[in-house]
């Protein structure tokens, strides 16, 4: 897991061959873009634009992926995103290859809570169990872009 300012994204370009294009998309993102899926480089790299209301932690499931990693960037609002190693989580919905997601119950061991604000991004890999969309104090509207990058084989 990585949490950093979008202004420092260049420092992470070397971690994956698709990262330069992913961060260029985020750095040039127009907040007026409608919700939806946008291909950047076919199915290897695409963006999901989403508006939603944050919710209480108890209402949000934990998740992890296998074929794709996530770069999550908030452009409006704030949210907490829980983070723990996938091994600390108990599956409650088996892995779906079609959706590339497995859902988990809340961990029974300590976990981290990341604060995502405009101008920041986080990167999650398959070992990173995460719980996005958690309210900070009160529920609020969030505009988030989730870049899905295909992991190297």
Domain spans in the chain, listed from the N-terminal domain onward: 2-144
pLDDT tens series, the chain, 153 aa? 999 999 999 999 999 999 999 999 999 999 999 999 999 999 999 999 999 999 999 999 999 999 999 999 999 999 999 999 999 999 999 999 999 999 999 999 999 999 999 999 999 999 999 999 999 999 999 999 999 999 975
Q: Are 113 and 137 in contact (CB under 8 A)?
A: no
Q: What is the 3-state secondary structure (H, E, C) of 118-135?
A: CCEEEEECCCEEEEEEEC
What's residue 152's pLDDT?
Answer: 75
What's residue 91's pLDDT?
Answer: 97
Provide the 8-state DSSP code for 31: T
Half-sphere exposure of 75 (CA within 13 A, CB side): 20
- The CATH superfamily holding the domain 2-144 is YhcH/YjgK/YiaL (2.60.120.370)
Alpha-carbon distance of 74 to 133, in angstroms, equals: 10
What's residue 153's pLDDT?
Answer: 57
Nearest to 106 by CA among 84, 136, 133: 84
């Amino acid at each position: 897991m990585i949490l950093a300012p979008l202004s420092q994204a260049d420092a992470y370009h070397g971690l994956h061959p698709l990262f330069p294009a992913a961060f260029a998309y985020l750095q040039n993102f127009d907040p007026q873009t409608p919700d939806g899926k946008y291909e950047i480089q076919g199915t290897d790299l695409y963006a999901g634009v989403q508006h939603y209301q944050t919710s209480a932690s108890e209402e949000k499931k934990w998740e992890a992926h296998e074929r794709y990693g996530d770069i999550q960037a908030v452009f409006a609002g704030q949210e907490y995103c829980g983070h723990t190693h996938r091994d600390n989580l108990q599956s409650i919905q088996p892995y779906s290859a079609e959706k590339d997601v497995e859902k988990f119950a809340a961990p029974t061991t300590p976990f981290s809570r990341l604060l995502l604000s405009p101008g920041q991004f986080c990167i999650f890999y398959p070992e990173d169990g995460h719980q996005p969309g958690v309210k900070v104090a009160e529920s609020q509207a969030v505009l988030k872009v989730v870049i899905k990058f295909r992991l190297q084989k």
